[in-house]
Amino acid sequence: MTQSAAVGDYRVLIVDDDFRVGQLHADMVNEIPGFQALEPVQDPRTVPKLVTSLQPDLVLLDLYLPHVSGIELLREIEVDSIMISAATEPANVAAALQAGALAFIIKPFGAKTLAAKLKGWARYRRQLAAATDLDQQSVDRLYRTLQGIDDAPAAANAAPTEQAVMACVKASSEPLSVAEVAEAVGVARATAQRYLASLVASEMLDLKLGYGTRGRPEHRYLAR
């Protein structure tokens, strides 16, 4: 049985016609901090309605399913999805990616492999949430993050501007807005936003929702 989700957990729906495999993957998901598995689904025909009613953050979807294929489901559901399958033929991988899968995990896989993929996906989601506008460098980073490649530089090796942005946030006793960081560091707002998003994606800063002087919600940043 899956446990009740903690506040803030990413909710994962697992679709596999083999109950034992589905429960095994659910147990793996529940061992990853920040993730919660919903009850595994065996009948793929129920998935579209379940996605609408349960609104999972992520779907782990088997490729070969009875009645309807995982590829068909990928095209139908509008939610982040990762394909899982023992079918390793290039055509299957290509079809899954073309249909919208964010990643492809080959069965059988261990808990470490799944954790790496899910944590990479979570960083990708945080990176998107922290961004307002994306330049090419930011888009490229999104793709690398999904692949589990953490290319964010360590603070000691960071560019001078990134070091200044990090130091500015760390020195503040209160969460700062993009405009406040930009003014304090002496850079354009877009530049400050780019570095702040990168630092959040690399988990060196935290992002929270605050309110500006006009009462409108805005992103504010604080050091971990």
pLDDT 10s digits, 161-201: 888 999 999 998 889 999 999 999 998 988 888 888 888 87
Thinking of the domain 130-223, which architecture would CATH place it in?
Orthogonal Bundle (1.10)
Evaluate if residue 145 carries a pLDDT over 90. Answer: no
Domain boundaries, the chain: 10-109, 130-223
Cα separation of 41 and 44, whole Å? 7
């604080």: which residue's tokens?
222
- Does the domain spanning 10-109 belong to CATH 3.40.50.150? no
For 179, residues 6+ apart whose C-beta sits below 8 A from its C-beta are: 189
pLDDT at 158: 57
Cα separation of 75 and 151, whole Å? 31
pLDDT 10s digits, 33-61: 999 999 999 999 999 999 999 999 999 99
Cα separation of 29 and 33, whole Å? 9
Q: What is the pTM of this model?
A: 0.68
Cα separation of 2 and 166, whole Å? 39
Evaluate if residue 4 carries a pLDDT over 60. Answer: no
Mean pLDDT computed over every residue of the chain? 86
Evaluate if residue 212 carries a pLDDT over 80. Answer: no
CA–centroid distance for 36 within its chain: 14
